[in-house]
Amino acid sequence: MLFNSLDFAVFLPIVFILYWFIANKSLKLQNLLLVVASYVFYGWWDYRFLTLILFSSLVDYTIGLKLKEDNKHSIRKTLLWISIIVNLGFLGFFKYYNFFVDNFVQAFSFFGTKVQPNTLNIILPVGISFYTFQTLSYTIDVYKRRLEPTSDIVSFLAFVSFFPQLVAGPIERATHLLPQFYNKRVFYYSKAVDGCRQILWGLFKKIVIADGCAEYANLIFNNSSEYSGSTLFVGALFFTFQIYGDFSGYSDIAIGTARLFGFNLKQNFAFPYFSRDIAEFWRRWHISLSTWFRDYLYIPVGGSRGSIWLKIRNIFLIFIVSGFWHGANWTFIFWGFLNAIYFLPLLITNRNRNNLDVIAQNKLLPNLREMFGVFFTFMITVLAWVFFRAETMSHAFNFLDEVFSKTLFSLPTIRPTNIILAIVFFFTIEWLGKGKKYAIEKLLLKQSVFYRWGFYMFLLALIFVFSNQSQQEFIYFQF
């Protein structure tokens, strides 16, 4: 069930009414309703996926209770490894089985040996990469005694399957989200309105910006051999805007929807394209995943401690694993490797935490140094996104080879005015709201109702116009 679909437009009000007007007398009944609603939401794609998420949830729920009962270190460690192997085993099988088989066959073919592969027609369960990491955070934190394990199975099932953020995040920690299922939720009109405002902005990002850009990004990338360097560069720009609008738009809708039910999810994007260096970019892009890898992989293997060579090793490890998490393709692995290369100069010179504040805070415009930093960071990010979007490594290198040819200085053959104007409007609003949790959080709140609702109606009109042109699935559903 897509956030930008008619199905969800019917589903959400029904669940909202049942939650606040029928089940509001009992916390357990509200949680049970959320479990049922979440399983309906998830099973809408394929009911067979439900057995996988239910099994994963029951395994980690049981292991959590066993970790509480036993204080023997060896047994606790064994239980943790069972959780890790089960969860990553499912993820590895469904997401990476054919990748490893195909590369195994190619490796043997290189040495002149033919191997008959046994590849499977495996359907990738939607959101498996997200809920796997979410439930793993529970068992790891219980093992490290950061969190008391729950005996409330309904709350735990609701935590793992919570439908607003189930299939594409944010990846919530058990320490943050699970306790919210224990406490009685009270409906606050102001929070509900704020949630609706964030949903509106997320839909604008997805339908107007992401889907609008996707039409031309797909056209250019799928027929890249037919276009000049300048047109290919435009295609790379369109994909850069598409993936941001798509993924951050999903996060905004998820966070806003959760707020309608009295839950607070963590911010997942903090205006990353206004970053002054690549380290700041990764503190602002897909925050829930970046911090997950930081806390559960980067720090345990040493983090920024030790010699410079260990620091470099750890940086490459976290970025390459992050790339592989995104998909079973060498393009994603190289994308991660390239970002590690970008990060390296900042690490070596100890400048990776220079830009912790908001750019041009309390100012309308940045200074020249900040402008150059934003431009440079944005351009190398565009370059990296080419590998993320390309079908193969050769496709990416051929694409870039033409971009850096003399045809880069020709006039692009594809330059849709409506999308360009929408992007300019979008980033103007983003810039004005860059210090907030989302761009329009406080926009026009001090103005009259006429101006405020006029702006909302304008966004709705754009959403309506663009929704009639094309509808795309969210990019991160494939991860």
User: Which amino acid is located at 132 in the chain?
Assistant: T
H-helix segments, 122-228: 128-143, 153-161, 174-177, 189-203, 211-222
Half-sphere exposure of 92 (CA within 13 A, CB side): 9
pLDDT band with cut points at 50, 70 and 90 for residue 428: very high
Cβ atoms of 408 and 233 within 8 Å: the answer is: yes
Q: Which residue has the tokens 């009414």?
A: 17
**Cβ 214 vs Cβ 385: under 8 Å:** no
Residues 6 or more apart from 19 whose CB is under 8 A from it?
A: 30, 33, 34, 261
- List Cβ neighbours of 282 (8 Å cut-off, separation of 6 or more): 290, 339, 343
Residues 375 and 359 sit within 8 Å (Cβ to Cβ): no
What's at 192, amino acid-wise? A
Model confidence pLDDT, tens digit, residues 431-471: 999 989 999 998 888 888 889 999 999 999 999 888 866 66
Report DSSP letters for 292-310, one per residue.
Answer: HHIIIIITTTTTT-S-HHH
Q: Which residues are catalytic?
A: 326
**Which pLDDT belongs to residue 92?**
84
Answer yes or no: is pLDDT of 101 > 70.
no
What pLDDT score does 128 carry?
87
- Supply the pLDDT for residue 110: 55
Lookup: tokens for 362: 């309390």
157, burial (CB in 10 Å: exposed 0-12, middle 13-18, buried 19+): buried
Model confidence band, residue 102 (pLDDT cutoffs 50, 70, 90):
low
Q: Collapsing DSSP states into helix, strand and coil, what is residue 464? A: helix
The mean pLDDT value for 43-54 works out to 87
Q: Is the pLDDT of residue 113 over 80?
A: no
Q: State residue 249's pLDDT score.
A: 94
10 Å Cβ neighbour count for 97? 15
Inter-axis angle of helices 27-43 and 6-17, nearest 10 = 170
Please tell me the distance from the alpha carbon of residue 95 to that of residue 89, in angstroms, as a whole number.
10
CB 98 within 8 A of CB 328: yes
DSSP state at residue 407: G
pLDDT in tens, 363-377: 889 999 999 999 999
Q: Residue 109's pLDDT is what?
A: 60
Tokens 């930008």 -> residue: 4
Percent of all residues in the chain with a pLDDT value above 90, rounded to a whole number: 72
> What Rg value do the Cα atoms of the chain yield, rounded?
23
